[in-house]
Chains A and B, each alone.
Chain A
Amino acid sequence: MNGRKLAYYPGCPSAGTAVDQDMSTRAVFEKLGIELAEVEDWNCCGAAEAENPILVYALNARTLAIAEKDGLDIVTPCSICYYNLERSNMALKEDESLRAKMKEIDPSLDYRGGIKARHVLDVFINEIGMDELKSKIVKKVNIKVAPYYGCYIGRPPTTAFDDPDDPILMDQLIELIGGECVDFSYMKTKCCGGPLMMTRADIAFEMAKNVLEAAKRAGADCIALACPLCGMMLDAKQPDIEKALNIEIGMPVIYITQLLGLALGIDSKKLGLDKAAVDTKEIVGKVV
């Protein structure tokens, strides 16, 4: 991290279903005194739908090249965006012929490998660090949390920044802010089903239900997560899952940036906590 400033990549869901994740990310970094400069004219990373790696590299080379002009590392709150940005960065950094190929497609893809992409969770723990975070915490988030990591934090090994089987960074953050992590190890890194939502909703719903019910069984007050697709599946779609599978869940789902924001004393509305499909008032009420 170059001083106290990072390039910010909000990702496409920031304009819609994950507007709360975007709001809380901006609010938390502001509170921590780290400037986020949104990457000028950034484009979509290709998500899970761009399957051709060359297409992924090209899409992300453009965004990386724009951020590289200011010499700033990119931070993003989205796990899929992080994966695509960083795997493109790594591929382009080590392969000169690939860089040449990109430049040939369009001069705007002329990325030289001078920066890195980071996930917010990685920046919180490994860059800002527990000591600084601790010094800025003003409230106790007195809740039981099921820390849910999903796919791209501990996998694949090339871009992972946490353990693939039992990741701990979110657990550490939750404990730091006064929360208690419930036993959720076996479910932490299971996929939420999101990538199949539009083509095999039956499978996607089943997978999301498994995560939600495991959190409930473990006695969690809420699930904490760090990916807007997981957020859409587990929160925004939760009433649809309940209806389709004829079950009752009622499990609040909160972005890790929102939880950290509460501990930093940021107003819950500014963190977008009123925008969740499953009510979060009870959680906010337990912040003292």
Chain B
Amino acid sequence: MPIKTWELDPNFRNEIMNEPGGEHLASCFQCSTCTLGCPITEIVPSYNPRKIIQMSLLGMREEVLSNPDLWICLICQTCTARCPQDVVVSDVLGAIRRIAEKEEEAGKLKIESPRPLFDKAFLHQLEKYGRLYDIGLAKEYYPKKEGSFIKGMRAMMKDYKDFGMRMFKKGKMGPKAILPEKIKRTGEVKKIFEKIGD
């Protein structure tokens, strides 16, 4: 479908470049090295970070922010390592993901991927305990992802019953992992989240 120039948002590139990590977006000269080396393309052939960057530069804000492919980046840094223009592709995509999350919070966008829910649930553990607490993470993430507590617990059991038993038997889910490892000065970490957000 041809691009409708009147629907483009010329400020979108600045919006990205003003986000931490998005600074080098405009250096991209569309060589496609990022996409050719990306391991995701071997599994999802349509995945194309080069295209996401070009659409961003053109100002196709809505299309970019609602693109489900934004959420399957592994942050493996292969693109970043190979980019001849130092675009720091992983960080640029991260900046775009954060803009999409803000749009969703403002009620202007619906993100289908559960990844923002996962990232938030992960960071909430840090905020509370200063360290990752796996069980707390799963207990927050699954109900949110599935839409209700019961459905969430059912999905969690399906994914993790065998795994949990295996880890328990091997002594990897001992008492140390069942309870959260809380740091002493949690207030210092809480302050970080208060001032920066997640």
A residues in contact (CB < 8 Å) with B: 12-13, 15-17, 19-20, 41-44, 46-55, 58-59, 62, 105-106, 108-109, 151-152, 154-157, 160, 164, 189-191, 193, 195-196, 198-201, 203, 206-207, 236-237, 239-240, 243, 274-277
Please state if B20 and A54 are interface contacts (CB–CB under 8 Å). Answer: yes
- Say how far B58's CB is from chain A's closest CB, in angstroms: 24
With A58-B192, A62-B188, A203-B40 as given contacts, are A277 and B166 in contact (CB-CB < 8 Å)?
yes
Contact B77 A151 (CB under 8 A): yes
Contact B181 A15 (CB under 8 A): yes
Complexed CA–CA distance, A151 and B79 (Å): 11
Main secondary structure of the interface of B (DSSP, over half): helix
Bound state CA distance, A109 and B172, in angstroms? 32
B119 touches A (CB below 8 Å): yes
Task: Contact check, B119 vs A51: say whether CB atoms are below 8 A apart.
Answer: yes
Inter-chain contact A12/B132, CB cutoff 8 Å: yes
User: Count of A-B contacts with CB under 8 A?
Assistant: 166
**Which of A13, A53, A156, A199 makes the CB contact (< 8 A) with B80?**
A156
CB distance from A184 to the nearest CB of B (A): 15
A15→B172 CA distance, assembly (Å): 8
- The verdict on A55 contacting B198 (CB below 8 Å), with A12-B132, A15-B177 known, is yes
| A16 nearest CB across to chain B (Å) | 4
Flag whether B184 is at the interface (Cβ < 8 A).
yes
CA gap between A151 and B123 in the complex, in Å: 22
B196 touches A58 (CB 8 A): yes
Structural contact, B118 and A198, CB atoms closer than 8 A: yes
Distance in Å: Cβ of B102 to nearest Cβ of chain A: 11
The residues of A that contact B123 with a CB separation of less than 8 Å are 46, 49-50
| Residue of chain B at shortest CB distance from A49 | B122
Give CA–CA (A174, B38) in the complex, Å.
28
Q: Which of B97-147 contact A (CB under 8 A)?
A: 97-98, 113-115, 118-119, 122-123, 125-126, 130-132, 134, 141
Task: Tell me how many residues of B have a C-beta within 8 Å of chain A.
Answer: 61
A119 to nearest B CB, angstroms?
15
Measured between alpha carbons, how far is A196 from B122 in the docked complex, in Å? 13
**A44 and B192 within 8 A (CB):** no
Known: A46-B126, A108-B185. A16 touches B177 (CB 8 A): yes
Partner of A47 from B81, B132, B197 at Cβ < 8 Å: B132
Bound state CA distance, A8 and B173, in angstroms? 22
- B20 and A43 contacting across the interface, CB-CB below 8 Å: no
Q: Is the CB of B126 within 8 A of A16?
A: no
Nearest A-chain residue to B141, judged by Cβ: A198
Q: How far is the CA of A41 from the CA of B75 in the complex (A)?
A: 28
Determine whether B183 belongs to the interface, using a CB cutoff of 8 Å to chain A. Answer: yes
B150 lies within 8 A of chain A by Cβ? no
B171 contacts chain A at the CB level, 8 A cutoff: yes
Q: Say which residue of A41, A54, A195 sits within 8 Å of B183 (CB atoms).
A: A41
Instruction: Flag if B43 contacts A203 (CB, 8 Å).
Output: yes
CA distance A48 to B94 in the complex (A): 10
Contacts of A42 in B (CB 8 A): 183
Contact (Cβ within 8 A) A59 B189: yes
Known A106-B192, A156-B81, A200-B72: A44·B170 in contact at CB below 8 Å: no
> Which residues, 158 to 184 on B, are CB-close (under 8 Å) to A?
159, 162-163, 166-167, 170-174, 176-177, 181, 183-184
Compute how far the CA of A16 lies from the CA of B138 in the bound complex, rounded to whole angstroms.
Answer: 14
A239 to B164, CA, bound (A): 12
When the two chains form their complex, are residues A52 and B131 in contact, meaning their CB atoms are under 8 A apart?
no
Q: How far does the Cβ of B100 sit from chain A's closest Cβ, in whole Å?
A: 11
26 contacts between A and B (CB under 8 A): A16-B167, A43-B126, A44-B125, A44-B132, A49-B122, A50-B126, A51-B21, A51-B94, A52-B98, A52-B198, A55-B197, A58-B192, A58-B196, A108-B185, A109-B188, A151-B76, A155-B76, A160-B81, A193-B74, A199-B114, A203-B72, A236-B163, A243-B162, A275-B170, A275-B171, A277-B170
